[in-house]
A and B are shown apart, each in its own frame.
Chain A
Amino acid sequence: MSHETKELNSLTAAQTAAAVNSGDMKALEAAYASLQAIESLNPRVNAFTDVLGERALLEARAVDDAVAEGRSLPLAGVPYAVKNLYDVEGLTTRAGAKISRENPPATTDATLVRKLKEAGAILVGATHMGEYAYDFTGENAHDGICRNPHDTGYMTGGSSSGSAAATAAGMVPLAMGSDTNGSIRVPASFCGLFGLKPTYGRLSRAGTYPFVGSLDHLGPLTRSAEDLALIFDVLQGHDPADPAQTDHPEIETHARLAEDIGPLRIAVAGGYFREKALPDALNAVDLVARALGASLEIDIPEAARARAAAYVITAAEGSTLHLNRILERPRDFDPETRDRFLAGTMVPAIWVQKAQRFRSWFRDLFRKIFENVDVLLAPATPFPALASGTKTFTIGGETMPARPNIGLFTQPISFIGLPAVTVPIWLEGAKLPIGVQVIAPAWREDLALRVAHHLEQTGVCRAPVAKIAA
């Protein structure tokens, strides 16, 4: 890659859009730089399963034409990628699965892809993911291991593995992921990115492959908090095509990013969120808390039970979705998901129903907690990225399988649909980053984004492009 290409690929989405809208840069230049970075770096990282060079250049030319006509687009010329469970016209939606590859190509773009296109963003490809999104590692038997750009011997986290790796490597400044139990926030933590899981029901999921409808969310991964807000504002809007989307009033987050966070009551999530964390995760939360002057720690009762309930719902609902496939073609599954889906077919209904009733109880508990605080801080993962191939980890004397359990701290939050931003922390001397969740009340993504922006502006968190040799 040329020096100039590297420079273009280190720009944030906001910087690229500003340069394209002002005429300082062509969308076509941004698209070429992104495609060159993918060609050069993807063999090392394995972030992309599909590269869409022709579409990217067509979209870039259309943006350049629009700008030449005097239009200004919020994401003019911003290259981006989508997890390969988003429908992209003309491309078969893989959802990380071998079986899905037999499906015909999608005939239309997913709603969020359409919105990004309308905003001037340039789709360059679809990214690696854990099979059917049942994954926290970034490892896929069909597509291979997606590698952490900060150290290719380590996991990216999952299941939005390729979206995180592509963004951290500087192939794109923005990639879309999905998060059912932590699949945006976990890879954001392992790859050192900003990741937003919005409120459940906020963004349309139409045209994306489901995992657990009760818990599925979509959202972006970026290298800046400002980009999260910029993109989130573009993605909002009611879409009747997603039956779980709520017609809640839209909020403007980008224009309000710089508002003083001084009046916000910020606290550290205690109890479970401290007991299950290893030292790096605790140190990262404490660093953020000190920087924000957040001295209050609030015990969060029943968080372990909330996580357990999400675990039960996920197993049963995910396995119901795939029942025919697991009955007829179990050998075509990734062995790491196959055995979990098989087990999930055997869950009694009362376990699931009780978990869904407990979900309402836990939501009500958080509504009360948020009467006294505006924002909560919690680890995103119990530790930084694990070495690739790690099968188990031990916390507090308990050894558990890695793949289902890395999302210990993200699962209780998505269980009740709260918005959360993962912010990337580089502890002193650390070789790998680790994320902290900034959690806000339902429908208040603006609060989490403002805190994330403040932390970035004050140098507490940062998301540099990984230094990876081509």
Chain B
Amino acid sequence: MHRFANPNRFLRLARAVFPWAVGATVALLGTGLYYALFASPPDYQQGETVRIMYVHVPSAWMAMFVYAAIAVASASALIWKHPLADIFARAASPIGAAFTLLALVTGSLWGKPMWGAWWVWDARLTSVLILFFLYLGHMALLNAFDDPARGQRAAAILALVGVVNLPVIKFSVDWWNTLHQPASVVRMGGPSIHPDMLTPLLLMAAGFTAYFVVTVIVRIEAEILARRVRAHRLMQGG
């Protein structure tokens, strides 16, 4: 892992991976959208509204996955002072927040025709809203100090404290009797969802993951270069 702690080595690797990630994003999201909007049947209960699921569920998965990745990066930043882990956490936070916002908005658009309300205060929705607030707090804390390193350490601790929320989100539909439906893909005894609907779902999830890789590489490179410029100016000024 420490092999990639060197920013230059990371940048070389990232530039090699980047075109493939862009290609994968375009291909996966393209086929995913085709399946989601044209080549999948309407649900026998939800009708065409089920198509919102193909954006909503992958966004929610990504929201949690990105947070978990930030937490792991924060732990390695605090324990091993891994320099890239800090940069990754800073780069990934807005992306995770965007996916969380997307999960909330698309969930709301699905809830209106299905439950008759834009928002209900159920455990799953509330815990995802808390996740969104945690992302906002993480980003605010990163930029709240004159010394960026201080903000990074504080944000890393906050990210670790907020991990408590992830199992609450995952199991909220099992622990409380909620409106939100229980897990249907990742569960004991295999997915309970029809393959015709699983295909667009998995394609979109893979596409979102590829999008995350692309965007995070772009943001990490921007951050590394910006730090180089800042260090240079400090040397000039000091």
Chain B associates with chain A: no
Q: Which residues of A contact B (CB under 8 A)?
A: none
Residues on B close to A: CB < 8 A?
Answer: none
